Amino acid sequence: MTGKRLNLHLISDATGDTLNAVARAAIAQFEGAEIHLHRWSLIRSRLQLHRVLEGIEAERGPVLSTLVDRALRGELEQACQRLGLQVLHMLDPVFDLLQQEFGAPTRPTPGRQYVLDADYFRRIDAMHYVISHDDGQAIRGLAEADVILVGVSRSSKTPTSFYLANRGIKAANVPLVPGLALPPELNDPPCPVVGLFIEAAPLIEIRRHRLSLLGAASGPAAAFQRDDAAYIDEEAVGQELLWARRLCSSRFWPTVNVTRRSIEETAAAVLKMMETWHERRARRG
Protein backbone atom coordinates (compact mmCIF):
# COMPACT_ATOMS: atom_id res chain seq x y z
CA MET A 1 0.00 0.00 0.00
CA THR A 2 1.06 3.59 -0.58
CA GLY A 3 0.49 4.67 3.02
CA LYS A 4 -2.33 6.99 2.03
CA ARG A 5 -4.72 7.86 4.83
CA LEU A 6 -8.37 7.52 3.87
CA ASN A 7 -11.49 8.65 5.68
CA LEU A 8 -14.47 6.45 4.89
CA HIS A 9 -17.91 7.62 5.99
CA LEU A 10 -20.66 5.05 6.63
CA ILE A 11 -24.13 6.61 6.70
CA SER A 12 -27.19 4.58 7.65
CA ASP A 13 -30.78 5.30 8.60
CA ALA A 14 -30.75 2.22 10.86
CA THR A 15 -28.09 0.55 13.00
CA GLY A 16 -25.38 0.55 10.34
CA ASP A 17 -24.69 -3.16 10.71
CA THR A 18 -24.91 -3.77 6.97
CA LEU A 19 -22.39 -1.06 6.15
CA ASN A 20 -20.05 -2.12 8.94
CA ALA A 21 -20.01 -5.70 7.66
CA VAL A 22 -19.41 -4.66 4.04
CA ALA A 23 -16.71 -2.15 4.97
CA ARG A 24 -14.94 -4.64 7.25
CA ALA A 25 -14.95 -7.31 4.55
CA ALA A 26 -13.61 -4.91 1.91
CA ILE A 27 -10.96 -3.28 4.10
CA ALA A 28 -9.58 -6.68 5.07
CA GLN A 29 -8.41 -7.09 1.45
CA PHE A 30 -6.20 -3.98 1.67
CA GLU A 31 -3.41 -5.05 3.98
CA GLY A 32 -1.64 -2.16 5.65
CA ALA A 33 -4.14 0.43 4.46
CA GLU A 34 -4.81 3.31 6.87
CA ILE A 35 -8.58 3.64 6.65
CA HIS A 36 -10.48 5.56 9.30
CA LEU A 37 -14.15 4.69 9.54
CA HIS A 38 -16.65 7.38 10.49
CA ARG A 39 -19.95 5.75 11.42
CA TRP A 40 -23.18 7.72 11.23
CA SER A 41 -26.24 5.68 12.22
CA LEU A 42 -29.97 6.36 12.66
CA ILE A 43 -29.85 9.31 10.24
CA ARG A 44 -33.52 10.00 9.50
CA SER A 45 -33.92 13.78 9.41
CA ARG A 46 -32.40 16.74 7.60
CA LEU A 47 -31.03 18.10 10.89
CA GLN A 48 -29.21 14.83 11.55
CA LEU A 49 -27.92 14.73 7.98
CA HIS A 50 -26.58 18.29 8.23
CA ARG A 51 -24.47 17.26 11.22
CA VAL A 52 -23.16 14.34 9.17
CA LEU A 53 -22.29 16.65 6.28
CA GLU A 54 -20.36 18.90 8.65
CA GLY A 55 -18.39 15.84 9.76
CA ILE A 56 -17.71 14.83 6.17
CA GLU A 57 -16.48 18.29 5.29
CA ALA A 58 -14.16 18.31 8.32
CA GLU A 59 -12.77 14.81 7.56
CA ARG A 60 -13.15 14.52 3.80
CA GLY A 61 -13.49 11.07 2.29
CA PRO A 62 -15.79 8.87 0.18
CA VAL A 63 -19.20 7.87 1.46
CA LEU A 64 -20.99 4.53 1.68
CA SER A 65 -24.70 4.89 2.32
CA THR A 66 -27.75 2.76 2.98
CA LEU A 67 -30.16 5.71 3.22
CA VAL A 68 -33.49 4.92 1.58
CA ASP A 69 -35.25 8.27 1.99
CA ARG A 70 -35.06 9.93 -1.43
CA ALA A 71 -34.89 13.49 -0.10
CA LEU A 72 -31.99 12.69 2.24
CA ARG A 73 -30.20 10.77 -0.50
CA GLY A 74 -30.55 13.69 -2.86
CA GLU A 75 -29.17 16.17 -0.35
CA LEU A 76 -26.28 13.84 0.47
CA GLU A 77 -25.42 13.44 -3.21
CA GLN A 78 -25.48 17.20 -3.81
CA ALA A 79 -23.20 17.85 -0.84
CA CYS A 80 -20.73 15.15 -1.91
CA GLN A 81 -20.71 16.49 -5.46
CA ARG A 82 -19.93 19.97 -4.13
CA LEU A 83 -17.07 18.56 -2.05
CA GLY A 84 -15.77 16.42 -4.91
CA LEU A 85 -16.39 13.18 -3.01
CA GLN A 86 -17.76 9.87 -4.22
CA VAL A 87 -20.94 8.45 -2.68
CA LEU A 88 -22.10 4.88 -3.17
CA HIS A 89 -25.57 3.68 -2.18
CA MET A 90 -24.85 0.08 -1.23
CA LEU A 91 -28.40 -1.30 -1.49
CA ASP A 92 -29.21 0.08 -4.95
CA PRO A 93 -27.89 -2.89 -6.98
CA VAL A 94 -29.92 -5.28 -4.82
CA PHE A 95 -33.03 -3.11 -5.09
CA ASP A 96 -32.63 -2.94 -8.89
CA LEU A 97 -32.27 -6.71 -9.20
CA LEU A 98 -35.33 -7.44 -7.03
CA GLN A 99 -37.42 -4.80 -8.77
CA GLN A 100 -36.63 -6.43 -12.12
CA GLU A 101 -37.54 -9.86 -10.75
CA PHE A 102 -40.77 -8.80 -9.06
CA GLY A 103 -41.75 -6.12 -11.55
CA ALA A 104 -42.62 -3.78 -8.69
CA PRO A 105 -40.81 -0.85 -7.08
CA THR A 106 -39.58 -0.78 -3.49
CA ARG A 107 -41.41 1.07 -0.75
CA PRO A 108 -38.53 2.72 1.13
CA THR A 109 -38.92 2.61 4.91
CA PRO A 110 -35.90 3.33 7.15
CA GLY A 111 -35.07 0.48 9.55
CA ARG A 112 -37.76 -1.76 8.12
CA GLN A 113 -35.67 -4.88 8.75
CA TYR A 114 -35.73 -4.19 12.49
CA VAL A 115 -39.46 -4.46 13.11
CA LEU A 116 -40.53 -6.25 16.30
CA ASP A 117 -41.79 -9.35 14.53
CA ALA A 118 -41.70 -13.04 15.39
CA ASP A 119 -38.11 -13.34 14.16
CA TYR A 120 -37.01 -10.54 16.49
CA PHE A 121 -38.60 -12.16 19.53
CA ARG A 122 -37.12 -15.51 18.51
CA ARG A 123 -33.65 -13.96 18.67
CA ILE A 124 -34.35 -12.44 22.08
CA ASP A 125 -35.63 -15.79 23.34
CA ALA A 126 -32.52 -17.51 22.00
CA MET A 127 -30.30 -14.96 23.76
CA HIS A 128 -32.03 -15.63 27.09
CA TYR A 129 -31.63 -19.35 26.48
CA VAL A 130 -27.88 -19.05 25.89
CA ILE A 131 -27.42 -17.04 29.08
CA SER A 132 -29.32 -19.67 31.09
CA HIS A 133 -27.52 -22.64 29.52
CA ASP A 134 -23.96 -21.37 29.28
CA ASP A 135 -21.09 -23.63 30.40
CA GLY A 136 -23.26 -26.59 31.35
CA GLN A 137 -25.88 -24.69 33.34
CA ALA A 138 -29.54 -25.80 33.50
CA ILE A 139 -28.80 -29.23 32.01
CA ARG A 140 -32.46 -30.26 32.07
CA GLY A 141 -33.18 -27.52 29.55
CA LEU A 142 -31.01 -29.19 26.89
CA ALA A 143 -34.17 -30.72 25.45
CA GLU A 144 -35.12 -27.24 24.20
CA ALA A 145 -31.81 -26.62 22.43
CA ASP A 146 -31.42 -26.29 18.66
CA VAL A 147 -27.76 -27.27 18.93
CA ILE A 148 -25.40 -28.31 21.74
CA LEU A 149 -21.76 -27.23 21.56
CA VAL A 150 -19.22 -29.29 23.49
CA GLY A 151 -15.52 -28.73 23.99
CA VAL A 152 -12.74 -28.28 26.50
CA SER A 153 -12.43 -25.08 28.50
CA ARG A 154 -11.68 -21.93 26.43
CA SER A 155 -12.57 -23.43 23.03
CA SER A 156 -14.92 -20.56 22.01
CA LYS A 157 -18.14 -22.30 23.03
CA THR A 158 -19.69 -19.26 24.72
CA PRO A 159 -19.00 -16.59 22.05
CA THR A 160 -20.13 -19.00 19.33
CA SER A 161 -23.34 -19.67 21.25
CA PHE A 162 -24.09 -15.96 21.54
CA TYR A 163 -23.43 -15.41 17.85
CA LEU A 164 -25.83 -18.22 16.99
CA ALA A 165 -28.41 -16.74 19.37
CA ASN A 166 -28.32 -13.55 17.32
CA ARG A 167 -29.46 -15.74 14.43
CA GLY A 168 -32.34 -17.08 16.52
CA ILE A 169 -30.59 -20.37 17.36
CA LYS A 170 -30.91 -21.75 20.89
CA ALA A 171 -27.37 -22.97 21.52
CA ALA A 172 -26.45 -24.70 24.76
CA ASN A 173 -22.81 -25.39 25.53
CA VAL A 174 -21.40 -28.12 27.75
CA PRO A 175 -17.75 -28.27 28.86
CA LEU A 176 -15.82 -31.49 28.36
CA VAL A 177 -13.77 -32.11 31.50
CA PRO A 178 -11.80 -35.34 31.98
CA GLY A 179 -13.09 -37.26 34.97
CA LEU A 180 -16.50 -35.58 34.98
CA ALA A 181 -19.49 -37.51 33.66
CA LEU A 182 -21.42 -36.06 30.76
CA PRO A 183 -25.03 -35.03 31.30
CA PRO A 184 -27.32 -38.04 30.64
CA GLU A 185 -29.20 -35.86 28.11
CA LEU A 186 -26.19 -36.26 25.80
CA ASN A 187 -26.68 -40.02 25.62
CA ASP A 188 -29.66 -39.48 23.33
CA PRO A 189 -29.43 -35.80 22.32
CA PRO A 190 -32.58 -34.18 20.92
CA CYS A 191 -30.59 -31.98 18.54
CA PRO A 192 -27.21 -31.85 16.79
CA VAL A 193 -24.11 -31.97 19.02
CA VAL A 194 -20.98 -30.29 17.66
CA GLY A 195 -17.52 -30.43 19.21
CA LEU A 196 -15.29 -27.34 19.12
CA PHE A 197 -11.54 -27.88 19.20
CA ILE A 198 -8.44 -25.74 19.28
CA GLU A 199 -4.79 -26.67 18.92
CA ALA A 200 -2.77 -27.10 22.11
CA ALA A 201 -0.34 -24.17 21.82
CA PRO A 202 -2.90 -21.39 21.29
CA LEU A 203 -5.21 -23.02 23.86
CA ILE A 204 -2.47 -22.92 26.49
CA GLU A 205 -1.79 -19.27 25.69
CA ILE A 206 -5.49 -18.40 26.02
CA ARG A 207 -5.72 -20.27 29.31
CA ARG A 208 -2.56 -18.66 30.65
CA HIS A 209 -4.01 -15.24 29.86
CA ARG A 210 -7.28 -16.24 31.52
CA LEU A 211 -5.49 -17.33 34.68
CA SER A 212 -3.56 -14.07 34.80
CA LEU A 213 -6.83 -12.16 34.65
CA LEU A 214 -8.18 -14.23 37.52
CA GLY A 215 -5.05 -13.73 39.56
CA ALA A 216 -4.20 -17.43 39.19
CA ALA A 217 -6.18 -18.02 42.38
CA SER A 218 -8.53 -20.49 40.73
CA GLY A 219 -8.85 -21.75 37.17
CA PRO A 220 -12.03 -21.10 35.16
CA ALA A 221 -12.76 -24.83 34.91
CA ALA A 222 -13.93 -26.54 38.09
CA ALA A 223 -11.78 -29.58 37.48
CA PHE A 224 -8.60 -27.48 37.56
CA GLN A 225 -9.30 -25.29 40.55
CA ARG A 226 -7.05 -27.45 42.70
CA ASP A 227 -4.17 -27.35 40.25
CA ASP A 228 -3.84 -24.39 37.89
CA ALA A 229 -0.53 -25.78 36.62
CA ALA A 230 -2.30 -28.74 35.01
CA TYR A 231 -4.65 -26.32 33.26
CA ILE A 232 -1.76 -24.97 31.20
CA ASP A 233 0.68 -27.90 31.27
CA GLU A 234 1.58 -28.90 27.71
CA GLU A 235 1.36 -32.65 28.30
CA ALA A 236 -1.84 -32.42 30.34
CA VAL A 237 -3.52 -30.20 27.76
CA GLY A 238 -2.47 -32.56 24.97
CA GLN A 239 -4.01 -35.51 26.81
CA GLU A 240 -7.16 -33.50 27.53
CA LEU A 241 -7.60 -32.62 23.85
CA LEU A 242 -6.94 -36.21 22.76
CA TRP A 243 -9.54 -37.50 25.24
CA ALA A 244 -12.12 -34.95 24.04
CA ARG A 245 -11.51 -35.82 20.39
CA ARG A 246 -11.89 -39.53 21.05
CA LEU A 247 -15.08 -38.87 22.96
CA CYS A 248 -16.64 -36.94 20.07
CA SER A 249 -15.46 -39.58 17.58
CA SER A 250 -16.96 -42.41 19.64
CA ARG A 251 -20.31 -40.64 19.65
CA PHE A 252 -20.12 -39.60 15.98
CA TRP A 253 -20.34 -35.92 16.88
CA PRO A 254 -18.91 -33.69 14.10
CA THR A 255 -16.17 -31.31 15.13
CA VAL A 256 -14.89 -27.87 14.14
CA ASN A 257 -11.28 -26.77 14.58
CA VAL A 258 -11.61 -23.16 15.78
CA THR A 259 -7.86 -22.45 15.95
CA ARG A 260 -7.74 -20.18 12.91
CA ARG A 261 -11.44 -19.46 12.55
CA SER A 262 -13.30 -16.33 13.53
CA ILE A 263 -16.46 -16.73 15.60
CA GLU A 264 -18.48 -15.98 12.45
CA GLU A 265 -16.72 -18.76 10.52
CA THR A 266 -17.16 -21.22 13.37
CA ALA A 267 -20.88 -20.40 13.60
CA ALA A 268 -21.25 -20.86 9.84
CA ALA A 269 -19.66 -24.31 10.09
CA VAL A 270 -21.98 -25.22 12.97
CA LEU A 271 -25.04 -24.10 10.99
CA LYS A 272 -23.94 -26.29 8.08
CA MET A 273 -23.56 -29.28 10.39
CA MET A 274 -27.02 -28.61 11.85
CA GLU A 275 -28.46 -28.62 8.33
CA THR A 276 -26.75 -31.93 7.54
CA TRP A 277 -28.05 -33.47 10.81
CA HIS A 278 -31.64 -32.51 9.99
CA GLU A 279 -31.34 -33.76 6.41
CA ARG A 280 -30.12 -37.16 7.59
CA ARG A 281 -32.88 -37.34 10.19
CA ALA A 282 -35.52 -36.51 7.56
CA ARG A 283 -34.21 -39.28 5.26
CA ARG A 284 -34.47 -41.79 8.07
CA GLY A 285 -38.09 -40.75 8.48
Compute the radius of gyration of the chain from its Cα atoms.
24
Annotated binding site for ADP: 151-158
CB 41 within 8 A of CB 72: no
Helix boundaries (H) for the chain:
17-27, 46-58, 70-83, 92-102, 118-132, 157-165, 200-213, 228-232, 234-250, 263-284
Annotated binding site: 151-158
Q: What is the DSSP secondary-structure string of 254-272?
A: -EEE-TT--HHHHHHHHHH
CB 151 within 8 A of CB 245: no
Q: Do strands 5-11 and 147-151 pair parallel, antiparallel, or not at all (unpaired)?
A: unpaired
